Structure formats: C-alpha cells, structure tokens
C-alpha cells in the first residue's frame, strides 16, 4: 500500500466532504469547530455542530468558510487536519490533496487554499475548479462542449459557471444558499408570529415544509421565544409562509442565470439552451426545485442526482482517471 495517501476535499460552507482514495470512502462532516477560551479545541465537524447554539459564553462554535470561500484560514486548517486524520491516520505523514475551489476567486482567496492544504509542509496540493468537478460528475464531455452552464446551489453560495471547450469562461459566486433561506425563515417567523426561533429550528422547518411547486398546505409546531413576553411559546408554522420566504432568494438566482445568459455569445447560449442548465448542490434538494427554476427561467433544467455530493464525486473521478488529470492544477 503506498504511504503517500491521496484525498479529495470539497470545503463547503456547511459541509466538508472528503474522499479518501486508499479507502474508497467519502466522509461528510459539518464544517465547524468548537473552541473553549479561544484556544482549546473541544470538538470538530459534526460533533461541533451538536454544541452550536447551545454553547456557553466561553465556547465559540466557528464555521470558517463563508459564502463558499475560506474566511478563517487558521480554523479551516485545524478542521481539515483533524478530519483528514479521522479519514485515515496516515494522512498526518503527508498526502496529496485535491482541493475543489470556486473559479470566481481573487489571488488572495486562492492562496488561502494553498495555505490550508499545506500547513504541515508535507502535503502536495492540487486545485480543481468546482464547476469542472461538477461537470465530470454530470458526465459532460468537457473538451467538446460548445457551452454548458452549471449552477451549484449550496449552503451559503450559488456558483454559476459556463464551460466552453475545456475552459471555465465565466463564473460567479453569489452569496445565496440554504443558510440565507434559514435566515429568511427566522425573520419571517418573527415578523409574522412575534416568535423568535433559532437557526436549527428554521433549518428543520425548511427540511419538513419547504417546497417550490404545488402547496400541500402543511404545518409544523415549533417552540420559540415570544418576542413580547420573553417566554417560550408553541406555534404552528404553515408551509405557505415557508414558500413565500424561500421563493424570493431562489428567484434572485434565476434572475442571475438569465442575466448571465444575456451576456454570453449567442452560439454558447444556444448550446446551453439545447442541453439544459445543470443544477447541483444540497439546496437543489428542495421539492419542486426543477419545476420552479424551469418556470422562472423558461429553460430546460437538469438536476444532478448527486446533489451536495456532485463536486466530491467529480473530484473522485478526476483522481481515479488519468485522462482527467488535465483538469488538475
Ligand atoms: N432536503 C433538503 N431540503 C432543503 N435544503 C437541503 C436539503 N438537503 C440539504 N439541504 C441544504 O443544502 C445545504 C448543504 O448543501 P451543500 O453541501 O451543497 O453546501 P456546501 O457545499 O456546504 O455550501 P457552499 O457550496 O455554499 O459552500 C444546506 O444548507 C442544507 O440545509
Ligand atoms: Mg458546495
């Protein structure tokens, strides 16, 4: 067995996905770290999420990736090292890291990925554009395509990219994703019912009530803090309130898609329109997403079956197939 292990890493704002080539497994953990008194690590990954919103004041739960980009190098390094070690203890001896990165990054942001990948100075770091990894997972013939649009709707970002004949010709990272939907739900529940709910409760409401097609008119009871009395109160929240809340940000993604299509040359646009727009990312799991995007954009929509695992699946295929290594930098 070779000593130098290889890992693929998709550092999401919510979930970090790590593919271990030697074990042929993908591990998924929350991209979070819990620290006591600013320096003692209490928990990493999904264990840290268990503490989130329940932490005492001397414990901080930090999510170091914001809007799809590294915002806190130090804590990203700590999470990555801990989870690589969890995936394979030998990773500490040095490894090859294939990092999926957004295409729409400044040089400084790109440097942050090099830094976190090689903090122990023993690793070899390779970069792959996220949209290229998505395209590989989606089975797109990257070198021959005359125009393919990929939209990845994640937790704090939506990346819209256009690939033409092997190149990402244009890409934009929008700060809209599942977290913005959760924040919207927190705000609407407070405005509508005078009730303060936490982020976890908003997320649960999104998972159980969010839909973007016909209205099944359901309701879920949640407990929050009454904003007038300050006391706990139970309240039934309806699915149409959730629909009204999440519709606006998803519509803004559609506006961006249309804006993008207007700006690219007609021959590329017509190839995209023939193929349909490819959509991936965890937030595309919301029921009725495909229908809603089609209604709003008037274009054919093709949802990936991999959802949030699309990028890591593409990285895995790139790492395993020599002919795909040309997409690695
Ligand atoms: N069934 C579902 N309904 C609604 N949202 C979902 C569902 N399943 C997952 N999500 C949302 O998908 C998001 C996670 O998706 P993903 O892993 O693609 O994001 P990420 O890669 O961590 O973030 P980003 O790409 O923005 O950095 C979370 O916001 C989660 O709430
Ligand atoms: Mg992502």
Do 170 and 200 share a domain, yes or no?
Answer: no
Distance CA 301, CA 292 (A): 10
pLDDT of 3 reads 55
Instruction: Answer with the one of 244, 260, 290 that is the final residue of a domain.
Output: 244
Domain count, the chain: 3
Do 59 and 70 share a domain, yes or no?
Answer: yes
Query: What band does 329 get if pLDDT is binned at 50, 70 and 90?
Result: confident
- CATH number at 314 reads 3.30.420.40
pLDDT tens digit sequence for 184-222: 999 999 999 999 999 999 999 999 999 998 777 899 999
Distance CA 65, CA 55 (A): 20
pLDDT tens digit sequence for 136-151: 999 999 999 999 999 9
Distance CA 251, CA 297 (A): 9
- Measured in residues, the chain has a length of 329
pTM of the model: 0.94
Ligand 1 first shell, C-beta below 6 A = 12-15, 65, 68, 154-157, 177-179, 203, 206-207, 210, 281-283, 285-286, 308
Do 229 and 102 share a domain, yes or no?
Answer: no
Do 240 and 317 share a domain, yes or no?
Answer: no
Nearest to 83 by CA among 146, 24, 17: 17
Query: Which of 181, 245, 282 gets mutated to test ligand 1 (max ligand atoms within 8 A of its CB)?
Result: 282
Contact 40, 94 (CB under 8 A): no
Do 50 and 96 share a domain, yes or no?
Answer: yes
Query: Over 60: is that where the pLDDT of 2 sits?
Result: no
Distances (CA, A) of 329 to 2, 153, 272: 22, 24, 26
What does the mean pLDDT of the chain come to? Answer: 93
Do 233 and 268 share a domain, yes or no?
Answer: no
Do 148 and 287 share a domain, yes or no?
Answer: yes
Do 189 and 323 share a domain, yes or no?
Answer: no
Q: Which two tokens stand for residue 151?
A: 């939209």
What percent of the chain lies above the pLDDT cut of 70?
A: 98
Angle (nearest 5°) at CA 57 between 56 and 59: 70
Q: Ligand 1, residue 281: give the atom nearest the CA.
A: 18
Query: Over 50: is that where the pLDDT of 112 sits?
Result: yes
Do 68 and 190 share a domain, yes or no?
Answer: no
What's the whole-number mean pLDDT along residues 89-95? 84
- CATH number at 217 reads 3.90.640.10
Question: Which residues form the domain of 209?
Answer: 178-244
Q: Which ligand number lies closest to the CA of residue 13?
A: 1
pLDDT of 1 reads 45
Do 43 and 120 share a domain, yes or no?
Answer: yes
């Amino acid at each position: 067995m070779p000593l130098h292990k290889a890992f693929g890493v998709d550092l999401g704002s919510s979930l970090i996905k790590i593919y271990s080539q030697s074990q042929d497994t993908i591990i998924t953990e929350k991209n979070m770290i819990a620290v006591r008194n600013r320096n003692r690590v209490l928990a990493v990954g999904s264990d840290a999420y268990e503490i989130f919103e329940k932490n005492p004041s001397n414990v901080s739960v930090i999510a170091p990736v914001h809007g799809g980009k590294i915002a806190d190098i130090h804590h990203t390094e700590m999470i990555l090292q801990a989870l690589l070690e969890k995936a394979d203890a030998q990773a500490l001896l040095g490894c090859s890291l294939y990092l999926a990165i957004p295409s729409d990054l400044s040089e400084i942001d790109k440097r942050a990925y090099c830094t976190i990948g090689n903090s122990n100075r023993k690793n070899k770091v390779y970069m792959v554009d996220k949209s290229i990894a998505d395209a590989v997972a989606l089975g797109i013939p990257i070198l021959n395509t005359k125009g393919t649009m990929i939209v990845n709707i994640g937790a704090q970002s939506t990346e819209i990219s256009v690939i033409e004949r092997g190149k990402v010709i244009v890409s934009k990272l929008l700060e809209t994703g599942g977290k913005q939907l959760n924040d919207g739900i927190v705000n609407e529940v407070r405005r509508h019912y005078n009730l303060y709910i936490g982020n976890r409760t908003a997320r649960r409401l999104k998972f159980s009530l969010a839909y973007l097609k016909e209205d099944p008119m359901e309701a879920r009871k949640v407990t929050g803090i009454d904003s007038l009395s300050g006391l706990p109160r139970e309240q039934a929240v309806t699915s149409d309130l959730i629909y009204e809340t999440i519709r606006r940000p998803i519509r803004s993604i559609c506006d961006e898609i249309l804006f993008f299509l207007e700006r690219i040359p007609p021959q590329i646009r017509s190839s995209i329109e023939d193929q349909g727009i490819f959509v991936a990312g965890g937030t595309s799991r919301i029921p009725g997403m495909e229908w809603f995007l089609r209604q709003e954009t008037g274009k054919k929509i093709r949802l990936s079956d991999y959802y949030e695992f699309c990028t890591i699946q593409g990285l895995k295929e790139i790492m395993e197939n020599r002919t795909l290594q040309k997409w690695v930098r």
